[in-house]
Amino acid sequence: MSAEQDPVQRASEGDEDLYDVATWEPRTALDRFSSWLYGGIVTSARAGVVALAVLIVVAQFAAALGLVFVDRPVVAVYVLLSVVPALGMAGFVWKADVTKREPLELLVVTFAFGFLFAGFAAILNTIFSGLFLGQVTADAPVWIAVLAPALYYFLIVGPVEETVKWLAIRLYAFRSDRFDAVVDGAVYGAV
């Protein structure tokens, strides 16, 4: 028996039909339909998330183009240059991977998804910033001025950023057969 098998499947040694226990394949028209429907829903959901992310990024850049980049073109240069450290970090992680090197295609798509999904983080961080940072005023006690930003970054920014990073990995790289080592999550997460 193969090492890839489920433990129940290995223990049965092929004596029993383990359909719906350890194995499953479409056997009826309803099975085929439900598999087709599920695949369609999942594919549509993935495409919808990516399309929404693209719309958000386009809207952010359009707003920045009209509000900031025209008046202060140096800001546009800084925005473009901000990609350089991220690409450098991605290249370093790719070269430093001690396991087998990850395919460049998976890294590039994960990087692109991370860029696109950063719009989700920007929106959520902005929405929740008022709850925490709105409490910091000129007449607020010092403990609020110290605690509110710390709580904001710990409770909102950190989880939102990590969730966005997870989403970038989960939608593409995680489904690949090359995502096969424990360290792969760290490699793709660093991208």
pLDDT tens digit string along 73-130? 787 788 778 888 888 887 887 787 777 778 888 888 888 898 889 889 989 999 988 8
13: tokens are: 């040694």
pTM for this one? 0.69
pLDDT for 182: 77
For 151-164, write each residue's pLDDT tens digit.
888 999 999 999 99
Rounded Cα distance, 16 and 8, in Å: 11
The pLDDT mean for the chain works out to: 82
Question: Residue with structure tokens 């450098």?
Answer: 88
Q: How far is CA 106 from the centre of its chain?
A: 13
Phi, psi of 19, rounded to the nearest 5 degrees: -55, 130
Tell me whether residue 181 is exposed, middle or buried, using C-beta atoms within 10 angstroms of its C-beta: 0 to 12, 13 to 18, 19 or more: middle
Q: Between the CA atoms of 133, 134, 137 and 140, what dihedral angle is there, to the nearest 10 degrees?
A: -80
One-letter-per-residue 3-state SS of the chain: CCCCCCHHHHHHCCCCCCECCCECCCCCHHHHHHHHHHHHHHHHHHHHHHHHHHHHHHHHHHHHHHHHHCCCHHHHHHHHHCHHHHHHHHHHHHHHCCCCCCCHHHHHHHHHHHHHHHHHHHHHHHHHHHHHHCCCCCCCCHHHHHHHHHHHHHHHHHHHHHHHHHHHHHCCHHHCCCCCCCCHHHHHHHC
